[in-house]
Amino acid sequence: MKKSVITHIVVMIIAVALGWYLASSLTVQRADIIKIEKQISKAPLGGFNKFASDVQWMLFINYCGGLDAVKAENVEEIYKRLNGILNNDPNHEAAYEMGGMMFSVRAPQKAVEIFTRGAENPNLKDNWRLPFYAGFVLTQHMKDSDDDKRLQKAEKMFRMALERNNSLPHILSALIRTRAKQLMKRGNWKGVPIANDKHAYLCALYDEWRQGGGTGGEVFSGNAVGVSTDLRPMLLVAAQKAKASAPNDKNILNTIDKVMDKVLKAEHLCAKCLNSYAPGDRFCGACGNRVVVYGTCPVCGNIMKAKYCSRCGCDDARAKEIINKRLERRRARMARPAVAAPVVKPAVAVPVKPAVKPAVTAPAAK
Ligand SMILES: [Zn+2]
Ligand SMILES: [Zn+2]
């Protein structure tokens, strides 16, 4: 008797726990459905909207197969059919992708509308192509006269695509180029006039790096959307291209200095062409410019490959000791001749000079 009561209680507790779990997971699913519920057609289909959309999709494919091209005459018809499908099934991924593609050249505004609608559907939040295509059409197939906010919208779309897939470098570069176009349009960056498109790209990339929390530039990976790409190599290439595009432009040089100081301080770069050089190099291998030598043993000048110099065996502490000793010796030498030299020098130099001079002029006369 007692045992069965305990069993009943245990079963009840498990049932309540399972019920609670099921209810919470259904609430989440329901929330997703509610978000798109408004978009579903109110046509009296008795809940068979999904089935109706599949039939419409087949008819649509059939209709499109009969077209030789998307033209001004059939744009409205295609748009109407596509809307019919999407109204019955707002989660129809293929309809967004194919429909948007069809309009991208003939009716870019309609293409953007279809792609954006798909991109903003919470049930398709893993699809990076829809926002990427929307951004692409906004930047490549539309003009400011079509929509003067197109670049801001494109930036938002590219960022959304990057959040969904951060392994594709072309999404990141599309995002930076869109930011650069906005800077070109504005004409200046933090009060500095933009010299050309390469300069704008460098500024846009630097902004992205800053937004990602790049502070000292020592250890950094990531940007505003948490992409694991290290932006520093991209910044270096962008700086090289900007410099090559206008080597003497004051504004470009100022921006490069800023980037060098904040981001690329740890790199050893030639001041003239921004190419990196190796330890022990005295001249840049790319342009022949004299560079600041680094990575050599301070005692013997050998290139340091490890903690100890492989030629003289000194390490940092010993090198410091030797250098200090040398300095002391030099100071002592400097201090001594201050008294003796003025007396000795003329006495030695005067008789020697005439003796040497004829020896030099004689071979010249031959
Ligand atoms: Zn160089
Ligand atoms: Zn050494």
* Entry field: residues in the chain: 366
- pLDDT tens, position by position, 124-175: 999 999 999 999 999 999 988 888 899 999 999 999 999 898 888 899 999 9
Instruction: Give the C-alpha separation, 33 to 123, whole Å.
Output: 8
Q: What's at 253, amino acid-wise?
A: L
Q: What's at 8, amino acid-wise?
A: H
Instruction: Give the C-alpha separation, 167 to 229, whole Å.
Output: 8
pLDDT, residue 190, reads 87
CB 196 within 8 A of CB 246: yes
Give the distance (Å) from ligand 2 centre to CA of residue 318: 10
Give the distance (Å) from ligand 1 centre to CA of residue 242: 15
Give the distance (Å) from ligand 1 centre to CA of residue 219: 25
pTM, rounded to two decimals? 0.68
Give the distance (Å) from ligand 2 centre to CA of residue 48: 83
Give the distance (Å) from ligand 2 centre to CA of residue 311: 5
Q: What is the mean pLDDT of residues 97-113?
A: 92
Give the distance (Å) from ligand 2 centre to CA of residue 329: 20
Give the distance (Å) from ligand 1 centre to CA of residue 240: 10
Q: Which one of the ligands is nearest to 300 CA?
A: 2
Question: What domains does the chain contain, in order, with CATH numbers?
Answer: 50-262 (1.25.40), 295-361 (no CATH)
Q: Which one of the ligands is nearest to 271 CA?
A: 1
DSSP designation for 188: E
H helical segments located in the chain: 2-37, 49-65, 75-88, 93-103, 108-119, 129-140, 150-164, 169-186, 197-211, 231-245, 250-262, 316-335, 337-365
Give the distance (Å) from ligand 2 centre to CA of residue 315: 8
Give the distance (Å) from ligand 1 centre to CA of residue 282: 11
Q: Which one of the ligands is nearest to 277 CA?
A: 1
- pLDDT tens, position by position, 59-92: 999 998 888 888 888 899 999 999 999 998 999 9
Percent of the chain with pLDDT over 70: 82
* pLDDT at residue 200 tops 90: yes
